[in-house]
A and B are shown apart, each in its own frame.
Chain A
Amino acid sequence: LAKTTQPISMDSYEGQEVNITCSHNNIATNDYITWYQQFPSQGPRFIIQGYKTKVTNEVASLFIPADRKSSTLSLPRVSLSDTAVYYCLVAPTGGATNKLIFGTGTLLAVQP
């Protein structure tokens, strides 16, 4: 399974766009990418998922370049409530559910 690498922490201010990049150099052809968000004392929450190019939903955008060796989660106009840990996961299509690896994630701190 592809190992992922993310920054340990990032700082931002309210209203800014935040981009969190995840490196997955060993991603396999049939792997897809998922991002989760976790607030303190809560379980992680699904944000967005994709295989290639760009995916957008009401919360975020996910950019995946052609070589798929990295992906970027983009949060538009963050607010204080976006302060959380963000996890990037890589997993094979079709489900290898016992192989999902949540790393230590990226702690995003949004300041006023």
Chain B
Amino acid sequence: DVKVTQSSRYLVKRTGEKVFLECVQDMDHENMFWYRQDPGLGLRLIYFSYDVKMKEKGDIPEGYSVSREKKERFSLILESASTNQTSMYLCASSILAGGQETQYFGPGTRLLVL
């Protein structure tokens, strides 16, 4: 079974703090993703990475950065947390088979910024 783990299930941070969310996958997948999920808005892609040190912006990259130094690990960084970044953050990795992609998600990190 593919396993995607996230460093924390719940986090509480203060406005202005630097926040690191870590994600690790154990299936040697090339692609990894960070989404945020808010009520009524579905999942929105923040960043994705298709290889070590490679990244591309998603739909809502503002206020976030990412790091992928090793294939299995993809980190999301909130440089200066703000209350509007309170959300559920989901990490995923994916495999492409027969031209069709399947994403595998972690359990999510629920972040509260006070």
Per the CB 8 Å criterion, the residue count for chain A at the interface is 24
Contacts of B96 in A (CB 8 A): 94-95
Contacts of B102 in A (CB 8 A): 34, 46, 49
The contact string, 1 if C-beta is below 8 Å from chain A, for chain B 54-79, is 00111000000000000000000000
Per the CB 8 Å criterion, the residue count for chain B at the interface is 31
**Chain A facing B: main interface SS:** loop
Q: Which residue of A lies closest to B10 (CB)?
A: A41
Give the distance to chain B from A96, nearest Cβ to Cβ, in Å.
9
The contact string, 1 if C-beta is below 8 Å from chain B, for chain A 30-44, is 001010100001111
Binding site for B on A (CB under 8 A): 32, 34, 36, 41-46, 49, 51, 87, 91, 93-95, 97-98, 100-105
